[in-house]
Amino acid sequence: MWTDQMQETLDSKKKGDSAFKHKDFRTTIECYSQFIDVGTMVSPTIFARRGLSYLMNGMPQEALNDATQAQVISPTWHIASYLQAAALSALGNGQ
């Protein structure tokens, strides 16, 4: 049922939020990926947090992809631009 899917989506977001708060970046990536894959809601914050989590796990290309997506969703949001710069810096340093 659609409401069950929505509840699962919201649960994934809540678990991701908790993992992010506790700096459990691998779990953050998993939970936010589930949230994003459902596609019923779009959030620049989720892309930014998952992007930062990718960056903290040594995955700068994935971080850049998410930062870019966050900027597409919210073009004037400075956090997305900052995260893009951090990811590009990490890519430039060969990390």
**Number of independent structural domains in the chain:** 1
What whole-number distance in Å separates Cα of residue 90 and Cα of residue 18?
26
Q: What is the pLDDT along the chain (95 residues), one digit of tens a residue?
A: 568 878 888 899 999 999 999 999 999 999 999 999 987 788 999 999 999 999 999 999 999 999 999 999 999 999 999 999 999 999 996 44
Q: 14, 35 in Cβ contact below 8 A?
A: no
Cα–Cα distance measured from residue 30 to residue 15, given in angstroms and rounded to the nearest whole number: 10
> Could you tell me the two tokens for 52?
């930062």
- Containing domain of residue 84, as a range? 2-92
pLDDT at 93: 64
User: How is residue 40 annotated by DSSP?
Assistant: S
CATH number at residue 54: 1.25.40.10
At 2 the pLDDT is: 61
